[in-house]
Amino acid sequence: MSITYRDAGVDIDAGDELVERIKPHARRTFRKEVIGGLGGFGGLFAMPTGYKEPVLVSGTDGVGTKLKVAFATGRHDTIGIDLVAMCVNDIAVAGAEPLFFLDYFASGKLDVTVGEAIVSGIAEGCRQAGCALIGGETAELPGMYHDGEYDLAGFAVGVVERSKILDGKRIQPGDQVIGVASSGLHSNGYSLARKVLPVETHGAALLEPTRIYVRALKAAMQAGEVRGAAHITGGGLVENPPRVLGDGLIMKLDEKRWPEPEIFKLIARGGVERGEMRRTFNCGLGLVIVTPTRDAEAVRAACEAAGEKAFLVGEIAAGEGPSRVEFA
């Protein structure tokens, strides 16, 4: 009696079928720099022209326990947008233009329909970010995951002119802070959110995709001087802004200046104190941009013109010791 790989839990034919199904989704994201297509051992991408001193910027991330909401609701078509967003937003705040993206999708038993839904979301995220989906890995790992569950990871590469890198070094007291609205939790804090909110009741709100801020940041940089930007991810509004502030600088945020999505109010009512909310969630701001006063309105308006809601939410002040955020 012979034993096949399928007998051991790995269906090569299903994997091949998924690759064929996702090719059209990936092809729609291709930029002119893409060389060849899917199916090779590595994705080929030519360096864009027009850069004098191009610097590559890379980022990787996952979706975390937001995947648990997708499992519980059976909705898998938007989680790929989150995967792309978490990676490209991180490199965009360095001033980079995302160029290409790769994904890693692993499950215990491959469901081709679910896999295609996930990759269609990844392709949509790439379309929104203007980057190409040029490759990835689909792994079927029997015994590693519970039935109906999977894991995702993403990898993005972008490019920025060396002279235009956003590193926060030019930020100074008196600069203004523009806050760009989030669409909800994005992809952070779900272990806490699921503890206080039933997924059965709030599944749609919990699955709201992460906003992709690539176009807004590009528009902001064209409209005025952007001295620094922070993607509000794990660590929330407390821990992310200081990553672009030098010692002795305080970002003062006035929470009355932006609307907070209802999902955060529901979580707070579940017994989460305000300080814990701030250091876990974005609380309504997925991105903060620091700009000199003279350019603040132009930068804010540019973000709005790019399709985002943006607000003047605070300013930079002088202080002592390590950088930090203070709330009014």
Averaged pLDDT, 317-321: 94
Dist CA 110 CA 293 (whole Å): 53
Question: What pLDDT shows up at residue 82?
Answer: 98
DSSP 129-155: HT-EEEEEEEEE-TTTS-TT-EEEEEE
152 falls in which pLDDT band (50, 70, 90)?
very high
Question: What pLDDT shows up at residue 201?
Answer: 92
How far apart are the two ends of the chain, measured CA to CA in Å? Answer: 73
Dist CA 66 CA 249 (whole Å): 34
Given a cut of 80, whether residue 214 has pLDDT beyond it is yes
Question: What pLDDT shows up at residue 303?
Answer: 98
Question: What pLDDT shows up at residue 102?
Answer: 97
* Helices assigned H by DSSP within 77-189: 79-92, 112-129
What is the chain's mean pLDDT, rounded? 96
Question: What pLDDT shows up at residue 76?
Answer: 98
Q: Which of 13-27, 94-108, 280-294 has the lowest mean pLDDT?
A: 13-27
CATH architecture for residues 12-164? 2-Layer Sandwich (3.30)
Question: What pLDDT shows up at residue 37?
Answer: 79
pLDDT in tens, 306-318: 999 999 999 999 9
Q: Is 328:254 a contact under the CB 8 Å cutoff?
A: yes
Given a cut of 80, whether residue 39 has pLDDT beyond it is no
Averaged pLDDT, 165-191: 97
Q: Tokens in use for 261?
A: 């999505």
Question: What pLDDT shows up at residue 252?
Answer: 98
Q: Which of 34-38, 214-218, 311-315 has the lowest mean pLDDT?
A: 34-38
For 276: left if phi > 0, alpha if psi spans -120 to 50, otherwise beta; the answer is: alpha
Given a cut of 90, whether residue 196 has pLDDT beyond it is yes
Rounded percentage of the chain residues whose pLDDT exceeds 70: 100
Question: What pLDDT shows up at residue 10?
Answer: 86
Question: What pLDDT shows up at residue 141?
Answer: 96
Given a cut of 90, whether residue 191 has pLDDT beyond it is yes
Q: Is 186:233 a contact under the CB 8 Å cutoff?
A: yes
The distance from CA 113 to its chain's CA centroid, rounded to whole angstroms, is 24
Domain 176-327: CATH superfamily is: PurM-like C-terminal domain (3.90.650.10)
Question: What pLDDT shows up at residue 5?
Answer: 86
Q: What are phi and psi of 21, to 5 degrees?
A: -70, -35
Q: Is 256:328 a contact under the CB 8 Å cutoff?
A: yes
Dist CA 178 CA 189 (whole Å): 23
Q: 12-164 and 176-327: same fold? A: no
Q: Tokens in use for 257?
A: 């200046």
Q: Where are the domains of the chain?
A: 12-164, 176-327
Question: What pLDDT shows up at residue 9?
Answer: 84
Q: Tokens in use for 319?
A: 């202080």
Question: What pLDDT shows up at residue 239?
Answer: 97
53 falls in which pLDDT band (50, 70, 90)?
very high
Rounded percentage of the chain residues whose pLDDT exceeds 90: 93
